[in-house]
Each structure stands twice: as C-alpha cells, then as structure tokens.
Amino acid sequence: MKLKFFSFLAVLLLFLAACAPVTENPQLLPAGQVKLHFIDVGQGDAVLIEGTGGQTVLYDGGRGDAALDYLTAIGLETLDLVIASHPDADHIGGLDKIVAKYKPRFYLDNTMAATTQTYEDLLRAVAEAGTQVLDPSRRSIDLGAAKLLIIPPPLDESFDRNDNSVGVMLDFGDFEAALTGDAEDKEFQWWLSHTPTYLQQVEVYKSSHHGSKNGDSEASITTFLPELVVISVGASNPYGHPTQEALDLYASVAATVLRTDQSGTVIVTGRADGSFQVETEK
C-alpha cells in the first residue's frame, strides 16, 4: 500500500524534537521504535500496534474485511494479541476471520457476554484457533522495550456497552499513545477514580467513539493532552461523526486532527525520546 509523508512532516519533527522532554541520561532511553496503524475500516475501529521486537497487537477489527485486507497487504505474518474493546459490530465484525487466519496467542475482551451472532462468531473463532483468553484486569504486557498497559473496564451492567470498553496505553520511553474504544464520560470518570496512574499525557490519541458528541469530554482531553488525535470514521456516515463539539474539544488543546475518511490509513512511528512521525494513505 502506497503511503506518503505529510508535506509538513519535516517541520513537525523539528517541532516535536524541540518540545521533547530533556533527559539527563539520553543513553538510557530504549532503542528502536513502535508503530500504530490506524486502519481505514470505514465507520469503525481497528488499530495495529507493533512493538520494538516485532510483537504485534490488534486492537479491534472494524466491520467486514477491510482490516484483514490491510494486514494481508502489509505482509503481516503473526499476531500475538487481539483485543476487542467492546462487542459492537463496528469494532469486532472483522475479527473472526482475522483470528481464524492468524491464530493469535492471546485474546482479550471485556468478558461481558453479548447475544449477537457477530460476538458468537468471534468467540467460536477464538476457541477453534486454540487462543488463550486473558481477563481484562489491570496489567502490563511487554512489547519488547515498550509496554502495553491494559486499562480495565468497569464491568458494570448498569453502564452501556460503550462505557465498558477495554482501554490501552502504549508506553515507550517518553512516547505514549492511548486507545479507549467507545468510552464516554461515565467510563472516563470511573477510570479517573479507579486507575488514575494509567491515564497520563500522551503524544497520540485515538478519538473515543469516532468523534461523537458523547465520546470525549473536557475531563478526558485535558487528561491526555494529545499532540495528535486520530479519528477513525467513515465518509458520509449517518451519525454525523465527527461532531463539531468533538472537533472544538480537540482544538481547545491545540491537537492536530487526522481523520481516516479524509486521510485513509494513518501510521504513526514513535520513538523513545517522545518524537514521532506520521504517514497517511491519501
């Protein structure tokens, strides 16, 4: 798949380098890089994370075959972990075929049973692949020199499915990225009360709930204070995503915003000094 660098990438890298935290012992920073592929799956989410040692994690799989087609196109050979943030079809609809093909070592979801055929197909694929199922407790998973922190959901049946999303934080030296599924303010408030150490300022953030007006809030965006927000959204979607309220919220913290409906797949390469570069499909 042909990708192009932003025309302003050189300026962006210089700016990020100037803003990177000063480290007294820079030689102690881990080597290598991490990658996040915000895959264009239309109205849905699918993010491939690559660790420094070749480890791979897929966070959600969109609907249909778009994510599978992308993973095939880039020549991906193995998946170590598949995470389903929550069982909405636009997040898990493509995962059954992905699990069947790649037979990941581990699978993790919020463990709250859904009665949809889509979810049943996914669980059947996981069982047939012999994949080990992990519970969504607070944990740290090594991805080479990077760590993937699992932000556990409330597992509260009085919350709706969006507010029981499994979140993750990618931590690599001074570079951090956060993915929060379709979490809305109710879950963010729960996280702030129960897992505050897992919520911190990040360089890169995936817009929660596709930029809906009920997704991110002042509490979430001022906690993460991202430099870059990626909105995974379908062109001319019937929900009006992203909403002007969400765009205004991201503008309030001076975040750069990229949308998959406009830029296609977005690839972010992060380094341990906090700098990162961005490639887009379009």
* pLDDT digit string, tens, across residues 201-222: 999 999 999 999 889 999 999 9
pTM over the 0.75 mark: yes
Cα 171–chain centre separation: 13
Question: Residue 252's CB: how many other CB atoms inside 10 A?
Answer: 11
What integer pLDDT is reported at residue 27 of this predicted model? 54
- Is 7:152 a contact under the CB 8 Å cutoff? no
Reduce the DSSP state of residue 109 to 3 states and report it: coil
Looking at the chain, the whole-number percentage of residues with pLDDT higher than 90 is 87
Alpha-carbon span 29 to 20, nearest angstrom: 13
Query: Which H or E run includes 50?
Result: strand 47-50
Identify the DSSP state of 30: P
Question: What fold does the segment set 34-280 form as a domain?
Answer: Metallo-beta-lactamase; Chain A (3.60.15)
- Is 65:42 a contact under the CB 8 Å cutoff? no
Q: Which residue type occupies 180?
A: T
**pLDDT grade for 10, boundaries at 50, 70 and 90:** very low
* The token pair that represents 48 in the structure block: 């491939």
**pLDDT grade for 143, boundaries at 50, 70 and 90:** very high
Given the structure tokens 């992308």, which residue do they identify? 70
Q: Which residue type occupies 163?
A: D
